[in-house]
Amino acid sequence: MLFNSIEFLVFFPTVIAVYFAMPQRFRWILLLIASYFFYMSWNPSYIVLIMVSTVVDYSCAIGIENQKNKKVKLALLYLSLFVNLGFLVFFKYFNFLGDAFNSLFEPLGIFPQIPGHNILLPVGISFYTFQTLSYTIDVYKGKLKAERHLGYFALYVSFFPQLVAGPIERASRLLPQFYEKFEIEYERIKKGLLMVLWGFLLKLTIADRLSEYVDSVFNEPNIHNGLQKLTAAYFFIFQVYGDFAGYSYIAIGIALIMGYELMDNFKRPYLSVSFQEFWNRWHISLSTWILDYVYTPIVLSKRHWGIYGIAFALLVTFVLNGLWHGANWNFIVFGFILGIYIGAEFLLKKQRKKLKKKIGKGKFRFFGWIATMCLWIFACIFFRINSLGEVWSFLGGILDFSSYSTTNLNLFKFPIDFVISLILIHLIWGLEFFQEKNNLLGKFKKQPSIIKWTLVIFLLLFVIFIGKYNSSAFIYFQF
C-alpha cells in the first residue's frame, strides 16, 4: 500500500479514529494488525519473514540478557545475525553473488553455474532487517534492555509508517514510545499533518513529475543527446530527493499524528558544502546506523593504521552503503565513489583549511557547495543507470558538447511540466536556503492564523492541482 494511494487515504483515517478511541493498553494490537495489513496488501506471504525475524530477535535478545555465559551470548547474537542477514542475502544478494562467483571463474575456463532464483524481493527488507539487527546488537552490547512484551517488539519491527522505507529507527527511541499514551493534541497533529502535506508536495509535484523525464532518458540513453542526458542527471538528484525525503516526511508526519516521534531523515542535504556534511543531512537514519555498526568498529580495529585506517573505514563503509541500496555493480561503484569523495575530503583536511583561509569562508563555502552538488550529480548517474555497461556512453554523451541541442529538450508529455519542474525544484531549494539562514518556518509560525491557513490551503490546492496522480511507487521501496 503506497502512501500516495486511495487505499491509504481510506486506511489511515480509519486506523487513526480507532486508535484514539481505544484504551492505551490495547493500541498495540490495533497498530500491529494495521501494520501487518499494510504490509500484506503488497504481498501477503512475505509477512512470514517479518514474523520469523520478530520471533528470532525477540527470543535471542531475551536469551542474551538472561545468559551469563559469554559464548552462549555470542552464539545467540550470531543466530540473530544469521537469520536476519540470511533472509537479506537470500532475497536480495543471492543472484548477484551467484553471478559474481560464476563470472569469477570464467577466465579460468571453469563454469560453476550457481543457479539464480526468480523470487520477488520483499519490499522494505533492508530497512526492517537493519532495524532488528541494531536491536540485537545493542542488547548484546548491554546498551539496551531486551523487550519482554512480544507485541510491542513485533510492533517495533513492523510499525507501518516506517516499515518499508524507514527512517531506520532504534529500539531505544521507538520502543519506549509504544508504552506512552497519546491523546488528540491539536499542535502535535497539526505539525504532523503539515509534514505529511510537505511530503506529498515533494513526492507528487516534484519527484513524480521529474520521473517522467528521467525515466525516458535513462531507460533509452542511446536515443537522447548530451543536453537531455545532463538535464536528466540534474533532474534525477531532485527526483530522488523529492521521492525519499517526501516519503520520510509523510512517514514522520503520520507517526507524529499518532504521537510517535521518528528520527529526522533529511536536513536540507542540497545545501551541504562538503560530503561529510552531506552525509550528516542525507538519509540520516542509515548514515548513523552505518556509523555505529560498521564504521566505528572498523576504525577501532584499524586504529594502528592511523589516518589511513580512517580512510579505509570510510571506503569500506560507503561501498557497503552502496551495496545496501541494491545488488548491482552500479550501486557498488556508487558507494565506492562516495567513499572516495569522503576519504579524499578527510585526507585533504589540512589543504582545505588552508584554502579556506586563503579565499575566505564565504567563497570557500560557495565553491564547496557547487563542487558537492556536481559530484553528487556524477555519483547519482551510477545510482540511476540501469546497468554499469551503459554508464560510459551516458557520461560520454554528456561530455559530447557537439551533440547538445535545445530541440526536443523538453521531453515531458505536457510541455508545461518542464517549466513547472524548473520553477519548483529551484523554489524548494531557495526555501530550504532561507529556512537554513533565516528560520523561515519560525517566522511563518509567528504570522497571524489567517495568513498561515491561507498558505496551508494554497499548498494543499497546489498539490491537488499540480500533483501527478499516477501512484508511482517510492524509489526506496526497492531497497
Partner 1 sequence: MKTKFLSFIIYTLGFFCGIIFIIVNVKPLGSVARSLIIPRNYGDLYYQHYIDKYKTVLDRKIPFSVSELNTPLKKAGIILYGDSFSNLRYFKGIPELLIDSMKVDLHFAHTRRIFQGPVFPYLAKSDYQKDSIPKFLIFQSAERVIDLRLRDNPAKLVQAGTPNPIKTFLKSILARDAKRKYTFLLKDTKLTRPFYSFLMNKRYDWFGYVDSPKVYDEKTGMFFNDKSTSNTKAGFYYQFSDEEIELYCNHLEIFKNELKSLYNLDFVFFPVPNKISIYSHILNNDEYNNLLPRLYECMEAKSVDFVDIYNPIKAQKELMYFKTDTHWNEKGAQLSHNLLMKKIREIQARTNSKN
Q: Active-site residue numbers?
A: 325
Say what angle helices 226-258 and 6-21 make with each other, to 10 degrees: 20
Query: Can you tell me which of 104, 307, 399, 464 binds partner 1, judged by CB under 8 A?
Result: 464
Contacts of 369 (CB under 8 A, 6+ apart): 271, 272, 273
What is residue 92's DSSP assignment?
A: I
The answer to whether 20 and 192 are in contact (CB under 8 A) is no
Binding residues with partner 1: total (CB under 8 A): 28
**In contact, 275 and 342? CB cutoff 8 Å:** yes
> CB of 13: closest distance to partner 1 in angstroms?
4
- The owner of cell 555465559 is 69
For position 473 contacting partner 1 by CB under 8 A, the verdict is no
**Binds partner 1 (CB under 8 A): choice among 111, 401, 402, 465:** 465
Q: Does 422 bind partner 1 (CB under 8 A)?
A: no
Nearest to 244 by CA among 6, 4, 5, 477: 477
Q: Does 6 bind partner 1 (CB under 8 A)?
A: yes
Q: Which of residues 398-417 bind partner 1 (CB under 8 A)?
A: 413-416
Which is nearer to partner 1, 17 or 422 (by Cβ)?
Answer: 17
- Residues 147 and 28: their CA atoms lie apart, in Å, by 14
Q: Is 365 buried (19+), middle (13-18) or exposed (0-12) by CB count in 10 A? A: middle
Q: Is 470 in the site for partner 1 (CB under 8 A)?
A: yes
**Which DSSP category does 408 fall into?**
T
Question: Which of the stretches 4-12, 24-32, 326-334, 431-439 binds partner 1 when contact is defined by CB under 8 A?
Answer: 4-12
Residue 276 or 471 with smaller CB distance to partner 1 = 471
Q: Under DSSP, is residue 387 helix (H, G, I), strand (E, B) or coil?
A: coil
Of 198, 201, 185, the closest CA to residue 258 belongs to: 185
Long-range contacts made by residues 447-453, C-beta under 8 angstroms, separation at least 24? none
- Could you tell me the smallest distance in angstroms from the CB atom of residue 349 to partner 1? 48
Write out the three cell numbers for 174.
521507538
Answer yes or no whether residue 42 interacts with partner 1 by CB under 8 A.
no
Toward partner 1, which CB reaches closer, 371 or 463? 463
Determine if 16 is a binding residue for partner 1 (CB under 8 A): yes
Q: Judged by CB under 8 A, which of 71, 186, 350, 401 binds partner 1?
A: 186
C-alpha–C-alpha distance, residues 205 and 416, integer Å: 13
- 469: contact with partner 1 by CB under 8 A: yes
Asked if residue 43 binds partner 1 (CB under 8 A), the reply is: no
CA separation for the pair 137, 127 (Å, rounded):
16
453 lies in the site for partner 1, by CB under 8 A = no
Considering only the C-alpha atoms of the chain, give the largest distance between any 2 of them, rounded to a whole number of Å. 76
* Binding residue for partner 1, selected from 150, 347, 466, 473, defined by CB under 8 A: 466
- State which residue, 41 or 67, has the beta carbon closest to partner 1: 41
- For residue 309, what is its C-alpha cell? 585506517
- Using CB under 8 A, which of the segments 14-22, 115-123, 145-153, 375-383 binds partner 1? 14-22
Please, which residue, 215 or 432, has the CB nearer to partner 1? 215
451 binds partner 1 (CB under 8 A): no
Contact status: 13 vs partner 1 (CB under 8 A): yes
Which of 86, 105, 185, 353 is the binder for partner 1 (CB under 8 A)? 185
Asked whether position 10 contacts partner 1 by CB under 8 A, the answer is yes
Part in contact with partner 1 (CB under 8 A); list of ranges 182-190, 268-276, 278-286, 290-298: 182-190
Say which amino acid occupies 461: L
| Cell output for 345 | 575530503
Binding track, positions 358-397, relative to partner 1; x by CB under 8 A = ----------------------------------------
How does 11-26 read in b/e, with b if 16+ C-beta sit within 10 Å? bbeebbeebeeeeeee
CB of 259 to partner 1, least distance (A): 13
- The half-sphere exposure of 213 on its side-chain side, counting CA atoms within 13 A, is 32
Cis before 221? omega within 30: no
Q: Which amino acid is at 11?
A: F
Which of 123, 168, 189, 227 is the binder for partner 1 (CB under 8 A)? 189
Stretch that binds partner 1, among 18-26, 62-70, 333-341, 392-400 (CB under 8 A): 18-26
Q: Does 459 bind partner 1 (CB under 8 A)?
A: no
294 touches partner 1 (CB under 8 A): no
Helix, strand, coil share of the chain (percent; to 5): 75, 0, 25
| Cβ–Cβ under 8 Å, residues 168 and 292 | no
In angstroms, give the least distance from the CB of 381 to partner 1. 23
Q: Are 180 and 57 a contacting pair, CB within 8 Å?
A: no
Q: Which residues of this chain interact with partner 1, rule CB under 8 A? A: 5-7, 9-14, 16-18, 20-21, 184-186, 189, 413-416, 420, 464-466, 469-470
